[in-house]
Amino acid sequence: MNEPYVPEWACSQWGNYEHDWLDCHEYLCAYEKWIEKGPEMPVTTDMKSLATAKLQAKDNWKHAYVAHAEAATVMAPDQFWKILDHLFQQIVYYRFKLGRTNGTKVACKEIGRQCWTKQLPEGVECTVEEFVSFTKAYAEVRGSMYDPLFGVVEERGDDAYGDLLDLLPLLGRKFAKWVQEGKWPKGHYDEFINSVRKRVRKRLNAINCEARYDEVLDFILKGEEYVSMSLDDAASKYLCLALHHGDA
């Protein structure tokens, strides 16, 4: 893209800090129009036709994206875990350092945006197309934990168990390997929880955020964050934008 990511009019209207309006629907619509057409936008009064076209296009894209994502390859482990570590750091930043209740969703969007605008940190590489493969790999890691932990994690309903599995990949490659190899026998819930505690502390130490330990531990064990769904939504959004602007 030749245009700057943050246009001056956006800062003056929505605030000088981009993440104050990053997930604002009104801003995103205006910004996407600004990129496509420039500041002078044609005005139309045919609202019914526009509404129909918008909903139909949205539905068509949804079906096309699902088919595309299903056909995508799963990201290679080395690349996946590097991006996963960056995702964990972003979630800690938005969810806990900034205190945003929707911080997980914002972090997933931010990873997608960084893939599109090529603003990932040094050593982390991912295109928008590869981000689709990343989301697929995340879902597969999540799914691979279901059977090994069934019977280990007790006294949780199906929804609560699914919520836990959705967050456990954030504990990193080593923890995922422990789960997949069946480190904890059935009924050894306390041992499993102790391992989660240790792993959360180690992950936070690696990013100099030890003070958030209690919050992040509670987040992992009790959160309802829909990480996999948020990643999928972000991948769909930024793949659409990248294709539209010729960046994919």
Band (220; pLDDT cuts 50, 70, 90): very high
Report the alpha-carbon distance of residue 108 to residue 234 in Å, rounded: 6
Q: What is the DSSP letter of 168?
A: G
| Tens-digit pLDDT profile for residues 37-54 | 655 555 556 778 888 888
For Cα atoms 25, 26, 31, give the angle at the middle one, nearest 5 degrees.
95
User: What integer pLDDT is reported at residue 142 of this predicted model?
Assistant: 97
Residue of 136 and 13 predicted with greater confidence = 136
CB 117 within 8 A of CB 55: no
Report the alpha-carbon distance of residue 128 to residue 235 in Å, rounded: 7
| Tens-digit pLDDT profile for residues 99-148 | 999 999 999 999 999 999 999 999 999 999 999 999 999 999 999 999 99
Report the alpha-carbon distance of residue 111 to residue 126 in Å, rounded: 9
Report the alpha-carbon distance of residue 186 to residue 166 in Å, rounded: 20
Residue of 89 and 53 predicted with greater confidence = 89
First to last CA, the chain: 12
Report the alpha-carbon distance of residue 169 to residue 163 in Å, rounded: 11
Listed in sequence order, the residues at least 6 apart from 7 whose beta carbon sits closer than 8 Å to its beta carbon are 31, 34
- What are the E-state strand segments in 127-222? none
Q: How many CB atoms lie within 10 A of CB 98?
A: 11
State pTM to two decimals: 0.80
